[in-house]
Amino acid sequence: MTDKKNTVYLKSIRFLEKIEDSLLIALLLIMISMAVLQIILRNLFDSGILWADPLVRTLVLWIGLIGAMIASRNNHHINIDIITRYLPGLAQKISTLIICIFAAAVCSIMTWFSVAFVRMEKQDGMTAFADIPVWICESIIPVAFAVISVRYILLSFSALKDIFMQADQ
Amino acid sequence: QSSQAFTLKIATLSPEGSMWMEKMREGADQVTKQTHNRVVFKFYPGGVMGNDSAVLRKIRIGQLHGGAVVGGSLSQFFPANQLYAQPMKFKSLEEIDYVRKHMDSFIINGLDNAGFVTFGLIGGGFAYIMSQEPIETVENLRSQKVWIPDNDKISQDSIKAFGIAPIPLPIADVRTALQSGLINTVGTSPYGALILQWHTQIKYVTNIPLIYLHAVLAIEKNSFLKISPEDQKIVSQIMTRAMHEIDTQNRLDDIIAIETLKKRGIVFINPSKEARAEWYRVADAASEEMIRSGVLPKKVADRLDALLDEFHSKTKTVSQSQK
Amino acid sequence: MIYLVIAILILLAFLGAPLFCIIIAAAMTGFYMSDIHLSVMAIELFRIADTPILLALPLFTFAGYLLGESNTSSRLVRLTHAFFGWMPGGLAIVAFIVCALFTAFTGASGVTIVAMGALLYPALKQAGYNDNFSLGLVTTSGSLGLLLPPSLPLILYGVIAQQMNTGEQISIEKLFIAGILPAILMIVLLSLYSIWTNRKTPVPLTAFSFSKAWSAMREAIWEIPLPFFVFTGIYTGFFAVSEAAAVTAMYVLIVEVFIYKEIKMAQLASIIRESMVMVGGILLILGVSLAFTNYLIDAQAPMKLFKICQYFISSKLVFLILLNIFLLILGAILDIFSAIIIMVPLMLPVAINYGVNPTHLGIIFLANMQIGYFTPPVGMNLFIAGYRFNKPIMAIYKATIPFMLVLLAAVLIITYWPWLSLVLIS
Ligand code: NA
Ligand code: NA
């Protein structure tokens, strides 16, 4: 029974990861096409899309944060990592656990306050470009940090499991 | 002691060492002295807190209490503060002086109702069309690569009337873009052109005032009301005086800047009578558009026009009586 | 209390906690203690969307990854071998020059390391340079070129300095010209070092052969135009930097996928994914660093530090020495634009007081900041290189320190020999 539960769980995670990956790829292709289209319009037709530049700049933020979400799947973020490699096995696992809990906590706090920010912006009701509200552009910030927090919580659980497995041996 | 020390954190795009900052610091020192350290200013110059929209967000969350910002940035709170930004509305500084005497209070009240205490408007002089190729007619302008500030909806809207496809860029990139030829036409005040060193990249100025620029020192009202009423009075008095000094100095600096541009061999083009008429016709259409889209209440725009007529009839009588 | 927090954060960093979390935690602690609502973090992060130059990061990175995944690096090696094979240090010198020009218009935001590094790192190793040297070269080159036009920091320095009414004329043109000899000095010293350090395991020299050159050129015929139209496109103003980046990405995509056919369609998705994950890792750090910088500015920390330094100044020499030290530290922790905006108005009057030419000060300022980018332990480009090439940070430190020392020598020459900066403008 637990096996069945596990496969459903894994399948839904795979599915969500697929969505992230596709979104990231689609956004980059949109970004390149928009930028090239803008050059063609500007140089050949003496015209241009006024909202193309702000759109493309917003895409930079979105691509960056979605990329960061994906990087968190296996804790593949920039780190300094000077001590860990010299630690013995168990200590290394404990330090991994501490780090994942720390990251989860920090990102949860970030999520909380970026939700507050986006709600404030929604109240203000400003538009960014082409009648799209600013808060929609900003909404990727809380979403990204929420996803990253969840990932680090999951990584904490698996680090905990590793520690118990080592202790059992 | 009833009132605690209160620090007003103010951000601005003007860099440290500029006349603006010096006047504001002078004012701040006087406030500190006269309130016996109950009110202290902390300045963040040079745009270190981000552009105007970032500054306004930081005011919203209370990290900052105010900012010296350009008029356009506050139009989200009170659109009609763009009253003087109607294209080619004014033909001389005398006209604007007369109108401002009567209408500045309208903008100040409007901003106050929108939650910002200001200390008088600071005029930034007229923006002119400055270009690398001579522009005499509207038709000339249409074939140029024209810059407009990015994220400035009002100038984007009003420029539509001129029938051009502008290139939106942030101010920081304009100089490089002029140098590389990505753009060849900008609209800015003569003083602004000198400060930003755009003047080395342009050859011509179309000698029709484009729009009148203004800025304000705006402090978020709720923060300001936390200061005791007596201290509010002191801050208002001193800062209004400082802003007035900046306003006056700006007017002088702009006149000197025009001379400097001429001395450097930049040609001021005076369009012919027909060309002029065409400019004004198109510009009027842009003003109409501002009214139609609801940015500018018709009543207010009409009042401004009436003031201009009043000014013209007065000066006419003066010049006639002098004859 | 605050010291305890700092100690814990440092410990967590050394245990390998994600750097962005450390920076967020530090910034939030600071903001919290200053009674500032923590949603300021999101406001600062959103400034990424207000920074046009960052558009170059994903686009050039994608192009760099495509070139790195196809056989471009071996074609590049063959090409430089054919043309510069007679010259000791051929590829290394070419790499320095190309990276410097690339950084001049992309800024030192790490684009050079990620995009050019993808191509140059394997190329250098294929050409016979050892791993350590190649790694150090690519990391160092990430900020080489800040002194060359049209570098934005140089323009910003000019705008700020000229507004200050110091009585001396400072123009951006003058700054551009003043930066040229110092930049050349840096490249020459680095090139000499490269030749010297590889003397025991030299890359064998070959005489120029026309047929070899011809065949190498024919092989790379689709890639040779790329640097030319990027550089001339930007320097002649046909396109803006962001546009050049978009055109490059599009061009490389077409050439590698449809002409050389070295990248299969199925591979493309994973290349986009990998390259953008890299971009995400870097952008997140840049974004939260903006927030941390904002905290330092809010607390007016750099100004206070400068005041302490000022206390020790007694002569021009002492001023210059302190300036070097101070700017190296600043370059490692503050983003370059904030550093210029905050520090130039404070430093310039002091500098002029001690007889330092303002144009010269600009060159000193940027030359120091350039090294700050890869000064251990916290120079940003070190982390970016470690991330990009999947190396432990210690290995990056080791590989980069010799290059840093060479550039430090260059900076000392630039600082204490004003002639170098000023001869072309006087
Ligand atoms: Na770079
Ligand atoms: Na830095």
Alpha-carbon separation of residue A13 from A66, A97, A145, C371 (angstroms): 16, 22, 17, 44
Report for A59-73, B191-205, C165-179, C233-247: range of highest mean pLDDT:
A59-73
Contact by Cβ (8 Å): A104, C14: no
Can you tell me the distance from the alpha carbon of A77 to that of A79, in angstroms, rounded to the nearest whole number? 6
pLDDT in tens, C204-223: 777 777 888 888 888 778 87
What is the predicted pLDDT for the residue at B4? 66
- Determine the longest span between alpha carbons in chain B, in angstroms: 69
Residue C168's domain spans which residues? 37-425
Q: Left, alpha or beta for A91 (phi > 0: left; psi -120 to 50: alpha)?
A: alpha
Q: Taking CB atoms and an 8 Å limit, are A32 and C59 in contact across chains?
A: yes
Decide: residue C161, CB within 10 A, 0-12 exposed, 13-18 middle, 19+ buried: buried
Interface of A to B at Cβ within 8 Å reads 42, 46-48, 50, 53-54, 117, 120-121, 124, 126
Side-chain half-sphere CA neighbours of B316 within 13 A: 6
Q: Taking CB atoms and an 8 Å limit, are C272 and A53 in contact across chains?
A: no
The identity of residue C243, as a single letter, is E
Q: Taking CB atoms and an 8 Å limit, are C37 and B17 in contact across chains?
A: no
CA C421-C422-C426 angle, to 5 degrees, is 155
Measure in Å the smallest separation between the Cα of C356 and chain B Cα atoms.
18
Can you tell me the distance from the alpha carbon of B200 to that of B132, in angstroms, rounded to the nearest whole number? 10
Measure in Å the smallest separation between the Cα of B151 and chain A Cα atoms.
8
Confidence band of B154 (pLDDT split at 50, 70, 90): low
Contact by Cβ (8 Å): B12, B20: yes
Q: Where are the alpha helices (DSSP H) in chain A?
A: 2-44, 52-71, 89-124, 134-138, 140-168
Please report whether residue C31 resides in a domain.
Answer: no
pTM, entire model? 0.85
Pick the residue from chain C with its C-alpha nearest to A17: C273
Does residue A44 belong to the interface with chain C, where contact is any CB pair within 8 Å?
no
Decide: residue B37, CB within 10 A, 0-12 exposed, 13-18 middle, 19+ buried: exposed
Using a CB-CB cut-off of 8 Å, the residues of chain A touching B156 are: 50
pLDDT in tens, C304-333: 878 887 788 878 888 888 888 888 888 777
**Residue C49 C-alpha to ligand 2 middle, in angstroms?**
19
Using a CB-CB cut-off of 8 Å, the residues of chain A touching C17 are: 79, 99, 102-103
Mean predicted lDDT score pLDDT of chain A? 88
Please report whether residue C7 resides in a domain.
Answer: no
Using a CB-CB cut-off of 8 Å, the residues of chain B touching A46 are: 143, 165
Q: Taking CB atoms and an 8 Å limit, are C152 and B62 in contact across chains?
A: no
Contact by Cβ (8 Å): B216, B100: no
What is the predicted pLDDT for the residue at C226? 78
The first and second tokens of residue B167, run together, are: 């290139």
- The radius of gyration of chain A from alpha carbons, rounded to an integer in Å, stands at 21
Using a CB-CB cut-off of 8 Å, the residues of chain B touching A126 are: 76
Interface of C to B at Cβ within 8 Å reads 36-37, 39-40, 43-44, 47, 50, 52, 150, 152, 155-156, 158-160, 162-165, 171-173, 234-240, 294, 297-298, 300, 338, 341-342, 345-346, 348
Q: Which of A138-147, B151-160, C96-105 has the lowest mean pLDDT?
A: B151-160
Q: Taking CB atoms and an 8 Å limit, are B151 and A46 in contact across chains?
A: no
Beta bridge partners of B67: B11, B218
Pick from B76, B143, B150: which is nearest to A53 by CB?
A: B150
Please report whether residue C51 resides in a domain.
Answer: yes
Dihedral of CA C317/C318/C324/C330: which sign?
A: negative
Antiparallel, parallel or unpaired: β B204-220 and B116-131 = antiparallel
Confidence band of B95 (pLDDT split at 50, 70, 90): very high
Beta bridge partners of B168: B148
Confidence band of C367 (pLDDT split at 50, 70, 90): very high
Q: Taking CB atoms and an 8 Å limit, are C50 and A57 in contact across chains?
A: yes
What is the predicted pLDDT for the residue at C166? 64
Can you tell me the distance from the alpha carbon of C84 to that of C232, in angstroms, rounded to the nearest whole number? 22
pLDDT in tens, C1-49: 788 999 999 899 888 899 899 999 999 999 999 999 999 999 999 988 8
Can you tell me the distance from the alpha carbon of A28 to that of A56, in angstroms, rounded to the nearest whole number? 10
Q: What is the mean pLDDT of residues B52-65?
A: 91
Does residue A116 belong to the interface with chain C, where contact is any CB pair within 8 Å?
yes
What is the predicted pLDDT for the residue at B2? 42
Confidence band of B35 (pLDDT split at 50, 70, 90): very high
- The radius of gyration of chain C from alpha carbons, rounded to an integer in Å, stands at 22
Mean predicted lDDT score pLDDT of chain B? 88
**Residue A166 C-alpha to ligand 2 middle, in angstroms?**
42
Pick from C234, C237, C345: which is nearest to B15 by CB?
A: C345
DSSP string, B182-205: S--EEEE-HHHHHHTT-GGG--EE
Pick the residue from chain B with its C-alpha nearest to C345: B16
Beta bridge partners of C354: none
Report which of residues C310 and C235 the model is more confident about: C310
Using a CB-CB cut-off of 8 Å, the residues of chain A touching C41 are: 110, 113-114
pLDDT in tens, C58-110: 888 898 888 888 877 777 777 777 777 777 778 888 889 888 887 876 766 67
Please report whether residue C30 resides in a domain.
Answer: no
Pick the residue from chain A with its C-alpha nearest to C387: A78
**Residue C291 C-alpha to ligand 2 middle, in angstroms?**
13
Query: Based on the structure, what is the number of domains in chain C?
Result: 1
Measure in Å the smallest separation between the Cα of B146 and chain C Cα atoms.
15
What is the predicted pLDDT for the residue at C143? 86
What is the predicted pLDDT for the residue at A154? 94
Q: Taking CB atoms and an 8 Å limit, are B16 and C345 in contact across chains?
A: yes
Please report whether residue C233 resides in a domain.
Answer: yes
Please report whether residue C26 resides in a domain.
Answer: no
What is the predicted pLDDT for the residue at B1? 41
Please report whether residue C221 resides in a domain.
Answer: yes
User: Is the predicted pLDDT of residue C382 greater than 50, yes or no?
Assistant: yes
pLDDT in tens, C332-359: 777 787 788 778 888 888 888 888 899 9
Q: Which of B2-11, C228-237, C261-270 has the lowest mean pLDDT?
A: C228-237
Can you tell me the distance from the alpha carbon of C344 to that of C361, in angstroms, rounded to the nearest whole number? 9
Q: Taking CB atoms and an 8 Å limit, are C345 and B176 in contact across chains?
A: no
**Residue C292 C-alpha to ligand 2 middle, in angstroms?**
12
The first and second tokens of residue B102, run together, are: 């009567």
pLDDT in tens, A79-133: 877 777 788 888 889 999 999 999 999 999 999 999 999 999 998 877 777 788 9
Can you tell me the distance from the alpha carbon of B290 to that of B284, in angstroms, rounded to the nearest whole number? 10
Most C CBs within 10 A among A19, A30, A80, hence the mutation to make, goes to A80
Pick from A48, A120, A121: which is nearest to B165 by CB?
A: A48
Contact by Cβ (8 Å): B9, B18: no
Please report whether residue C238 resides in a domain.
Answer: yes
Report which of residues B254 and B180 the model is more confident about: B254
Most C CBs within 10 A among A53, A59, A69, A79, hence the mutation to make, goes to A79
Mean predicted lDDT score pLDDT of chain C? 85
- Kindly give, in sequence order, each residue whose CB lies less than 8 Å from that of residue A76, ignoring residues fewer than 6 positions away: C277, C281
- DSSP 8-state code for residue B146: B
Pick the residue from chain B with its C-alpha nearest to A52: B168
Pick the residue from chain A with its C-alpha nearest to C60: A32
What is the predicted pLDDT for the residue at A2? 61
User: Is the predicted pLDDT of residue C300 greater than 60, yes or no?
Assistant: yes
Measure in Å the smallest separation between the Cα of A5 and chain C Cα atoms.
29
* For helices A89-124 and C19-33, angle between their N-to-C axes, nearest 10 degrees: 60
Can you tell me the distance from the alpha carbon of A136 to that of A126, in angstroms, rounded to the nearest whole number? 10
User: Is the predicted pLDDT of residue C167 greater than 70, yes or no?
Assistant: no
